[in-house]
């Protein structure tokens, strides 16, 4: 199944970004609900100015691994700022968010003997599990009962590490990480990849672990700094002992340190978040607004607490109805194919703090108009709240 393409409006034409919420495709200026810039910080003048300054006052990068001759004080400043903001004992930067779960899992190798994987997690989490070389058990879904069944298959005294998404970036919703933690054995660990929750979910935007009030040294969090933070790179949060172990792991030791403009931008973004806490509250309020205005329909996947909503048509006719309704409303149809989503493609919408209430209402109205003509049994999966 695919959405019909035209010469004027191809599915994946190069986009000209006008501002944080609008793009231009050909001659059309369209409202944009794509990407992952949940707080609008990719456009913030302070973030951009900080990155420009870094490029004019030093080299583009240090040219080596941080463990050899590529260390720089700004990397430590960013790590300290991340640990303070997310209220973890320590943090370490890695070159990209995709690499963060792999780095975290390798850091935990001295303390774990097997991996339990939430198979509904992002591809980076699944790849980290596969590359670990450890015995691997796969949960069939995100329900805690699936974890329990996996744990029962392990021998007594096992030291498993659970790998899971925290906030789902494709379909929206949250994993019940609090329930997972209750079921883990005393010597078990949990790595939560919260790329799509860090900065925008939970109290103060501190992510899924803060959302559930978890304070447990057995929990490490990985994240992308290219989502809500609006820059690039990745990070791992955990105890001091875990982070020290990570600094000896291959993904950290063998990677060239990130270009200096990136940590400069991250520091600026974190300063903006601290200075403008209303930015997080606004993003959260707009997502609730969208969720409340969408009809309950089996094709709609989302959650009032997370920034992503997906619409999964089950036929080309349904997909075309959504595409046409969005274009008629002046909204880019963000139709994508991505691992973890519907195989034939789906619509993914991300709300940003930079959107206006009227724009969110426009999106909700366009989707509601299209969904009204679908049969109630349409869609691939049901609306999700977790």
Instruction: Provide the residue ranges of all domains of the chain, joining segments of one domain with +.
Output: 16-32+277-372, 45-275
Q: Tens digits of per-residue pLDDT, 17-31?
A: 999 999 998 888 999
* pLDDT at site 12: 59
Mean pLDDT, rounded, of the chain = 91
Q: Which of the two residues, 70 and 170, has the higher pLDDT score?
A: 70
The helix (run of H) or strand (run of E) holding residue 274 is helix 261-275
The CB density around residue 158, as the number of other CB atoms within 10 Å, is 16
* pLDDT at site 384: 46
- Sheet order of strands, 335-336 included: 300-301, 308-311, 346-350, 335-336
Question: Distance between CA atoms of 229 and 248, rounded to whole angstroms?
Answer: 26
Is 372 buried (19+), middle (13-18) or exposed (0-12) by CB count in 10 A? exposed
* pLDDT at site 35: 93
Token pair for residue 2?
């695919």
* pLDDT at site 374: 65
Which CATH architecture best describes the domain 45-275?
A: 3-Layer(aba) Sandwich (3.40)
Question: Distance between CA atoms of 2 and 5, rounded to whole angstroms?
Answer: 9
Q: Which residues pair with 17 in a beta bridge?
A: 23
In this predicted structure, which of 7-11, 202-206, 365-369 has the lowest mean pLDDT? 7-11
**Non-local CB neighbours of 376 within 8 Å, separated by 6+ positions:** 297, 298
- Confidence bin at 161 (pLDDT 50/70/90): very high
Cα separations in angstroms, 102 against 46, 146, 246, 326: 32, 23, 10, 38
Instruction: State the average pLDDT over residues 12-20.
Output: 83
Question: Distance between CA atoms of 298 and 377, rounded to whole angstroms?
Answer: 7
**Non-local CB neighbours of 84 within 8 Å, separated by 6+ positions:** none
* pLDDT at site 279: 97
In this predicted structure, the answer to whether residue 293 has a pLDDT above a threshold of 60 is: yes
* CB contact burial 63-98 (16+ within 10 A = b; e otherwise): eeebeeebebebbeebbebbbebbebebbbbbbbbb
Q: Which of the two residues, 273 and 1, has the higher pLDDT score?
A: 273
Q: Tens digits of per-residue pLDDT, 89-139?
A: 999 999 999 999 999 999 999 999 999 999 999 999 999 999 999 999 999
DSSP string, 236-271: EEE-HHHHHHHTTSHHHHTSBPPPTHHHHHHHHHHH
The answer to whether domain 16-32+277-372 and domain 45-275 are alike in fold is no
Percent of the chain with pLDDT over 70: 93
Torsion angles phi and psi, residue 15, rounded to 5:
-100, 140
- Outline where DSSP puts E strands in 144-265: 160-165, 189-193, 219-224, 234-238
Q: Tens digits of per-residue pLDDT, 338-355?
A: 777 777 889 999 999 999
Residue 236, CB half-sphere, CA atoms under 13 Å: how many? Answer: 31
Domain at 16-32+277-372, CATH from 3.30.2290.10, 3.90.1150.10, 3.90.180.10, 3.40.50.620: 3.90.1150.10
* pLDDT at site 340: 75
Q: Tens digits of per-residue pLDDT, 179-218?
A: 999 999 999 999 999 999 999 999 999 999 999 999 999 9
In this predicted structure, the answer to whether residue 381 has a pLDDT above a threshold of 80 is: no
* pLDDT at site 3: 46
Question: Distance between CA atoms of 159 and 249, rounded to whole angstroms?
Answer: 20
Instruction: State the average pLDDT over residues 296-314.
Output: 92
């Amino acid at each position: 199944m695919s959405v019909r393409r035209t010469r004027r409006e191809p599915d994946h034409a190069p986009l000209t970004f006008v501002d944080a919420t609008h793009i231009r495709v050909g001659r059309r200026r369209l409202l944009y609900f794509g990407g992952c810039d949940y707080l609008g910080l990719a456009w913030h003048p302070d973030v951009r100015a900080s990155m420009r300054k870094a490029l004019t006052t030093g080299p583009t990068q240090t040219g080596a691994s941080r463990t050899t001759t590529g260390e720089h004080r700004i990397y430590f400043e960013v790590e300290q700022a991340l640990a303070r903001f997310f209220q973890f004992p320590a943090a370490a930067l890695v070159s990209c968010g995709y690499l963060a779960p792999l780095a975290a899992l390798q850091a935990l190798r001295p303390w774990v003997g097997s991996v339990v994987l939430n198979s509904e997690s992002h591809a980076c989490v699944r790849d980290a599990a596969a590359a670990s070389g450890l015995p691997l058990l796969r949960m069939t879904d995100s329900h805690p009962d699936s974890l329990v069944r996996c744990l029962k298959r392990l021998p007594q005294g096992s030291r498993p590490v659970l790998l899971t998404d925290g906030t789902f970036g494709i379909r929206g919703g949250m994993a019940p990480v609090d329930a997972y933690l209750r079921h883990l054995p005393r010597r078990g660990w949990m790595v939560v990849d919260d790329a799509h929750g860090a900065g925008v979910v939970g109290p103060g935007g501190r992510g899924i672990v803060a959302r559930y009030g978890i304070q447990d040294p057995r929990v490490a969090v990985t994240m992308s700094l290219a989502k809500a933070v609006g820059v690039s790179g990745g990070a791992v949060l955990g105890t001091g002992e875990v982070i020290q172990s990570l600094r000896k792991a291959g993904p950290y030791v063998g990677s060239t340190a990130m270009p200096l403009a990136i940590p400069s931008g991250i520091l600026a973004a974190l300063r903006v978040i601290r200075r403008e806490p209303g930015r997080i509250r606004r993003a959260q309020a707009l997502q609730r607004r969208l969720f409340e205005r969408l009809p309950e329909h089996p094709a709609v996947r989302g959650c009032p607490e997370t920034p992503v909503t997906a619409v999964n048509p089950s036929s080309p006719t349904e997909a075309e109805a959504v595409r046409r309704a969005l274009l008629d409303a002046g909204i880019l149809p963000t139709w994508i194919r991505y691992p973890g989503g519907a195989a034939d493609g789906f619509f993914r919408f991300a709300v940003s703090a930079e959107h206006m209430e009227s724009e969110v209402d426009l999106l909700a109205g366009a989707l509601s108009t299209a969904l009204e003509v679908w049969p109630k049994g349409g869609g691939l999966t049901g609306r999700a709240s977790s």
